[in-house]
Amino acid sequence: SAAMPNFTVDQIRGIMDNTDKIRSMSVIAHVDHGKSTLTDSLICKAGIISAKQAGDARFTDTRADEQERGVTIKSTGVSLYFEHDEEDGKGNQPHLINLID
């Protein structure tokens, strides 16, 4: 499992100031369609929670009533840092695919 990232304040400021690397997204779906599970998986990949916790942690359910009922009531913002190579080693550039269902 990945270790918890450890950044200095200056490193975080540098990451936040690099707006070319910032992507904003929303997870929107019907009730019980995996929004919290998907979000937990992304948070796990960022090293904030363990793979064992992902799916059960409900990391973004911060309110007591959400935790008691097991249902997300209010939206929650989360900032995640993910570094990727500009090329995959074979000279291919990665592509971001936008899907709307």
Dump pLDDT digits (tens) for 23-42.
Answer: 777 888 888 898 888 888 88
pLDDT (mean) for 65-93? 77
- Of the two residues 49 and 85, the one the predictor is more confident about is 49
CA dihedral 72→64→5→33, nearest 10 degrees, is -20
- Three-class SS of 18-83: CHHHCCCCCCCCCCCCCHHHHHHHHHHHCCCCCCCCCCCCCCCCCCHHHHHHCCCCCCCCCCCCCC
